[in-house]
Structures are given as structure tokens and as C-alpha cells.
């Protein structure tokens, strides 16, 4: 289990974060970037899962820039409010918070980033702007940034049945970054990793994406062959 801390950002604003540390010497660190619903129990569990694999994991509470302690429900009201908060926070401020989070766990070693939904695009931007190895899950906003190169290795995960990311959008990303692995999971839709939501969770896809993400970080952060 992790703990809540205060995280100093590039500006004067202090935001919260959830940190989960491994029992022994860290193999590296992972910044876990939330969906548009906040640092929910699910996101905290993702951080705990990385810590169980030997990584120091930190999940910054990006919405604290606007409103403290936001945890939205997975329904239409939560979706609407989450979209509003994402717009208010803005991508630039989100990337700055990733940099601050990475700095706060720098003692863990090499730091990567994983993100989901909106966080998937934040993870992409961290690979482009911060040179952080990134695992991006179903980032529907990725196509806005196709004209910028990756400055660090990245892998991408998409659901084949995700209406927000049609095959043409995936093809455009592959054309933009041909060396970046892009995995498409049959039978999976958007948010297929969210195991607390039976409406979207797809266990085979989530398990395979987890294995691929862990192997990626083992290689890029921990130096495992």
C-alpha cells in the first residue's frame, strides 16, 4: 500500500500524489497518469501493482490544479466533469506535473511513464518533451501530436473496438512513429484496463498489455535484456 504526499510543481502550486514504494531497492520508477476520473482507487491499485514488481510508482493528482481530491464516478456525469477538468488543467501543465513527479522519485533510478485515456496522451507527450520511456494506453488525443518525434522509446495499446480511436487513427500514428510498437487488442474497447468497471474491462487484453508494459519497463528502466 502507498501513501499520499504533496508534490511541488514547476510553478507555485502544490498538488497531491499517491506514492507506492517497493519493499527493497527499486528497479526504477514509474509515473502513473490517471484517466479523466482522477486518482481513483483503480489508479492507486495500478501504482501498487507496479510497486509489487519492484518499481517506485507515483500517481500525481493533476486535477488538484483546479479542485482538490477529485475522484469521479464512471458515468456520464463523471465523464462530463472529467472532460471539463482536463481542459482546465491543460496539456502543458500536465506534462510539467509529470516532470515534477519524476523528479520526486529520481532516487529510484531511471523513470518512465504509463498513462490511460487522457493519461495515454500525457504519456505520449512525456516521451516527446521529457524523453521519458512511455507506455500509452488508448490515448484518443494522440493524433493531435503526430508532427512531433518521439524522444524516448514508447509503446502504444489500443482496443480494436474503441470508437474514439478508429483504425485510421492508429494507422496515422504508426506512420508517424514506425519504430514504436502499436498493439491492437481484438474484442477490447476503450478503457479495457479498468478492472473495476465490468462495462469496459477486458481481462485478456488487460493482462497482455500489462505483460508487454512490464517487459518494456524491465528493459528500458531496469536494464533487463
- The residues annotated with a catalytic role in the active site are 117, 162, 190
Best CA proximity match to 97, nearest among 130, 120, 73 = 130
Whether the Cβ atoms of residue 15 and residue 94 lie closer than 8 Å to each other: no
Alpha helix (H) ranges present in the chain? 41-52, 76-89, 91-104, 118-129, 167-176, 203-220
Distances (CA, A) of 105 to 18, 31, 146, 161: 12, 9, 29, 36
Amino acid at each position: 500500500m502507498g501513501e499520499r504526499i504533496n508534490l511541488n510543481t514547476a510553478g507555485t502550486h502544490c498538488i497531491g500524489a499517491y506514492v507506492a514504494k517497493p519493499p527493497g531497492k527499486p528497479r526504477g520508477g514509474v509515473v502513473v497518469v490517471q484517466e479523466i476520473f482522477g486518482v481513483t482507487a483503480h489508479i492507486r491499485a495500478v501504482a501498487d501493482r507496479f510497486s509489487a514488481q519492484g518499481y517506485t510508482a507515483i500517481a500525481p493528482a493533476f486535477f488538484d490544479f483546479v479542485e482538490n481530491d477529485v475522484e469521479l464516478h464512471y458515468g456520464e456525469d463523471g465523464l462530463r466533469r472529467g472532460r471539463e477538468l482536463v481542459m482546465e488543467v491543460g496539456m502543458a501543465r500536465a506534462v510539467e506535473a509529470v516532470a515534477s513527479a519524476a523528479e520526486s522519485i529520481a532516487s529510484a533510478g531511471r523513470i518512465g511513464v504509463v498513462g490511460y485515456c487522457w493519461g495515454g496522451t500525457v504519456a505520449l507527450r512525456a516521451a516527446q518533451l521529457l524523453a521519458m520511456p512511455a507506455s500509452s494506453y488508448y490515448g484518443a488525443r494522440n493524433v493531435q501530436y503526430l508532427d512531433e518525434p518521439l524522444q524516448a522509446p514508447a509503446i502504444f495499446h489500443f482496443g480494436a473496438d474503441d470508437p474514439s480511436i478508429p483504425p485510421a487513427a492508429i494507422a496515422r500514428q504508426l506512420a508517424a512513429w514506425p519504430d514504436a510498437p502499436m498493439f491492437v487488442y481484438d474484442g477490447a474497447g476503450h478503457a479495457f484496463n479498468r478492472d473495476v468497471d465490468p462495462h469496459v474491462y477486458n481481462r485478456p487484453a488487460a493482462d497482455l498489455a500489462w505483460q508487454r508494459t512490464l517487459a518494456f519497463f524491465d528493459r528500458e528502466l531496469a536494464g533487463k535484456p
